[in-house]
């Protein structure tokens, strides 16, 4: 590189103090030097850049190299179809179905927490909040994203789990009331309105009020029943799928919010203004115009959120209970589960001494599955995002 700059200066120097011919052009050999230096420099930069790209190939190679012996030793069927996980038993069994199910369950739970809240928050950030409030909300999201996962895991294990175990029923019923009551009144009003709209006549107002009241009454009854059932619920272990899903959902929120906010901002003013000009409210504009236009960007956000949840190790390792079982029934979030990441982290300590055995290689097989999942999710989100970009640029 220094060669290059010397060439530069040499050119200028010969021009100013040479005296005879003030030529801006370099001599032939200097030009050749310069070109060579530029090629070498270019090559150097490219090498460093490719090194960081080659890392992913290395990761693939080394994970799969150690994963293949497992499949050679034990075949595919047991791993993917049995849910009996006894790696240190005699004879050992390596059925990972329950562990896959655990990962899936927790990820689903995290998505159910993070996607609705994340999209609502991103709409609020991009279209509702005034500028100075947005500037205050941004650091909250950044700090939420920055807290180390082990701190989240510690919170889940030491604070949340005992709380769920002791007052789980009450907490759940309070959540149901807090979420349910506003939803109930809103839903009843809208349904009553829609219902009375179909009927023509003088008694429309009366019908609307009575339907709404009826719906509210029914809903309150249902809520009260549900709440009472939940209050009596005993949660046998606080370290369960619900706990982990909640925390993973909170951890995935910043990703979902920031990516979908970018997608919403990319939609542009014109569509929004067109919709407002037609008399739509903000909610209608967002739901019927902006969200559909930003749908692929939001899909990318959801995929990234899923990846965050599925690849997370410390929280699930500390607070999921680590029981390799499929909950019964499968949607029972109050039972402990075990995930792929936690199994790798937890079992490697023991499998480390038996390098070369199926017990060691099965963990690499799991890592390979995780790697494939994350790789394809990443490709999918890239493709979706690229398509979104092309779409918004097109309009």
Interface of this chain with other proteins, residues 99 to 158, rule: CB under 8 A = 116-118, 120-121, 123-125, 128-129, 137, 139-144, 146-155, 157-158
CB atoms within 10 A of CB 202: 6
Footprint on residues 11-30 left by other proteins (CB under 8 A): 12
**H runs (alpha helix) in the chain:** 2-17, 28-74, 77-81, 97-123, 131-146, 149-155, 161-198, 204-231, 241-266, 269-277, 282-285, 291-293, 295-311, 314-319, 340-351, 358-394
Among 73, 190, 225, 278, binds other proteins (CB under 8 A): 190
Q: Is 1 in the site for other proteins (CB under 8 A)?
A: yes
CB of 150 to other proteins, least distance (A): 5
What is the DSSP code string of 206-253? Answer: HHHHHHHHHHHHHHHHHHHHHHHHHHTPPPS-SSSHHHHHHHHHHHHH
Q: Quote the CA–CA distance of 108 and 385 in Å, as a whole number.
A: 22
Among 96, 244, 248, 370, binds other proteins (CB under 8 A): 370
Provide the phi-psi class of 148: left if phi over 0, else alpha when psi is between -120 and 50, else beta. Answer: beta
CB of 192 to other proteins, least distance (A): 9
CB of 21 to other proteins, least distance (A): 18
Q: Which residue lies nearer to other proteins by CB, 128 or 330?
A: 128
The per-residue b/e assignment along 352-376, b for 16 or more CB within 10 angstroms, e otherwise, is: eeeeeebbbbbbbbbbbbbbebeee
Among 23, 27, 81, 197, binds other proteins (CB under 8 A): 197
Among 294, 299, 301, 371, binds other proteins (CB under 8 A): 371
Q: Quote the CA–CA distance of 379 and 366 in Å, as a whole number.
A: 20
- In the beta sheet, which residues pair with residue 86? 93
Among 21, 132, 202, 234, binds other proteins (CB under 8 A): 234
Q: Is 314 in the site for other proteins (CB under 8 A)?
A: yes
Q: Quote the CA–CA distance of 198 and 211 in Å, as a whole number.
A: 13
SS3 321: strand
Q: Which residue lies nearer to other proteins by CB, 7 or 78?
A: 7
| Best CA proximity match to 377, nearest among 316, 301, 314 | 301
Footprint on residues 47-86 left by other proteins (CB under 8 A): 48-59, 62-63, 65-66
CB of 91 to other proteins, least distance (A): 25
CA angle 294, 300, 302 (to 5 degrees): 100
Q: Is 378 in the site for other proteins (CB under 8 A)?
A: yes
Q: Judged by CB under 8 A, which stretch of 187-195, 222-230, 267-275, 330-338 contacts other proteins?
A: 187-195
Q: Is 39 in the site for other proteins (CB under 8 A)?
A: no
Among 13, 214, 224, 284, binds other proteins (CB under 8 A): 284
| Best CA proximity match to 117, nearest among 215, 238, 246, 232 | 246
Q: Give the binding-site size for other proteins (rule: CB under 8 A).
A: 99
CB of 159 to other proteins, least distance (A): 5
DSSP one-letter code for 128: I
| Best CA proximity match to 338, nearest among 352, 357, 318 | 318
Q: Judged by CB under 8 A, which stretch of 25-33, 169-177, 218-226, 361-369 contacts other proteins?
A: 361-369
Among 241, 259, 289, 310, binds other proteins (CB under 8 A): 310
CB of 93 to other proteins, least distance (A): 22
Q: Which residue lies nearer to other proteins by CB, 42 or 221?
A: 42
Contact code string over 244-273 relative to other proteins, x by CB under 8 A: ------x--x---x----------------
Q: Quote the CA–CA distance of 186 and 176 in Å, as a whole number.
A: 15
Contact code string over 321-360 relative to other proteins, x by CB under 8 A: --------------------x--xx--x---x--x-----
Q: Is 195 in the site for other proteins (CB under 8 A)?
A: no
Q: Which residue lies nearer to other proteins by CB, 101 or 115?
A: 115
């Amino acid at each position: 590189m220094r060669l290059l700059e010397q060439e530069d200066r040499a050119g200028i120097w010969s021009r100013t103090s040479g005296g005879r011919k003030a030529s801006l052009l370099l001599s032939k050999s200097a030009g050749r030097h310069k070109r060579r230096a530029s090629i070498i420099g270019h090559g150097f930069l490219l090498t460093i850049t490719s090194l960081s790209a080659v890392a992913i190939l290395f990761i693939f190679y080394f994970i799969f190299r150690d994963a293949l012996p497992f499949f050679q030793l034990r075949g595919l069927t047991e791993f993917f179809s049995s849910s009996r996980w006894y790696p240190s038993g005699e004879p050992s069994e390596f059925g990972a179905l329950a562990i896959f199910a655990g990962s899936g369950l927790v990820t689903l739970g995290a998505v159910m927490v993070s996607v609705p809240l994340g999209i609502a928050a991103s709409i609020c950030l991009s279209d509702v909040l005034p500028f100075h409030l947005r500037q205050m909300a941004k650091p909250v999201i950044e700090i939420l994203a920055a807290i180390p996962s082990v701190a989240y895991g510690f919170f889940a294990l030491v604070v949340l789990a005992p709380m769920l175990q002791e007052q789980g029923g009450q907490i759940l019923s309070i959540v149901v009331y807090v979420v349910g009551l506003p939803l109930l009144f809103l839903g009843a009003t809208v349904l009553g309105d829609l219902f009375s709209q179909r009927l023509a006549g003088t008694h429309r107002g009366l019908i609307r009020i009575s339907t709404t009241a009826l719906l509210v009454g029914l809903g309150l009854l249902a809520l009260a029943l549900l709440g009472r059932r939940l209050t009596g619920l005993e949660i046998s272990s606080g370290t369960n799928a619900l706990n982990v899903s909640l925390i993973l959902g909170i951890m995935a929120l910043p990703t979902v919010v920031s990516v979908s906010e970018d997608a919403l901002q990319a939609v542009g003013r014109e569509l929004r203004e067109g919709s407002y000009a037609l008399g739509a409210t903000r909610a209608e504009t967002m739901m019927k115009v902006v969200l559909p236009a930003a749908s692929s960007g939001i899909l990318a956000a959801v995929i990234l959120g899923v990846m965050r949840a599925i690849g997370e190790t410390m929280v699930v390792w500390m607070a999921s209970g680590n029981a390799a079982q499929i909950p019964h029934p499968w949607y029972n979030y109050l039972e402990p589960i075990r995930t792929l990441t936690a199994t790798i982290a937890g079992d490697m300590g023991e499998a480390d001494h038996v390098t070369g055995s199926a017990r060691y290689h099965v963990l690499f097989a799991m890592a390979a599955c995780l790697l494939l999942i994350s790789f394809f999710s990443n490709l999918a989100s890239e493709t979706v995002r690229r398509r979104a970009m092309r779409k918004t640029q097109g309009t």
